[in-house]
Amino acid sequence: MTARGEGQLPMSFSLSVHNAASGLFGISRGDRKASTSLSAGRDTLAMGVFEACMLLKQGEPRVLLAAFDDALPLPLKAFADDGDQAAALALLLAPGNEFSLERAPEAGPASQAPYRELAAFLESGDSLLQSGGWAWRRNA
């Protein structure tokens, strides 16, 4: 029931649940493999990478990491703790030692654009990206 005592139609909230995007992606592909939806505030991107790495360690040959954030709706804007910008990044990960991720020795300020920073780092030849308390490394 809504606050007005009206019934709630499933179509009104079906895409508002946390795992809706991963569920719909699996349904559209006819894919019955497990999917995970994470929300870890400023650390969501790093935690998504860690989750993907655990799946690779358990034997998955590849893991698709689709990370995205949307801007908060107006009533919640006062609670934003970062740049509050819509952004997305997709990575197809496979086992290897080319990159590593760890907590940075000094937790710096939260990144205002972690998706763009990581994408730029992956496209560059840089060996280190320190962003939002995380050290992303390209191993030699």
Under 8 Å CB-to-CB from 94, ≥6 apart: which residues?
Answer: 56, 61, 62, 63
Average pLDDT, stretch 19-31? 86
Domain ranges of the chain: 40-138
Say yes or no to pLDDT of 85 above 80.
no
> What pLDDT shows up at residue 102?
93
pLDDT classification of 32: cutoffs 50, 70, 90? confident
Average pLDDT, stretch 118-136? 93
> What pLDDT shows up at residue 111?
74
Whether the full predicted model's pTM is greater than 0.85, yes or no, is no
> What pLDDT shows up at residue 108?
66
Average pLDDT, stretch 25-39? 87
Q: Rounded CA gap, 96 and 105, in Å?
A: 24
Say yes or no to pLDDT of 1 above 60.
no
Q: Work out whether the CA dihedral 124, 130, 136, 137 comes out positive or negative.
A: positive
Q: pLDDT digits over 58-71, tens only?
A: 999 999 999 988 88
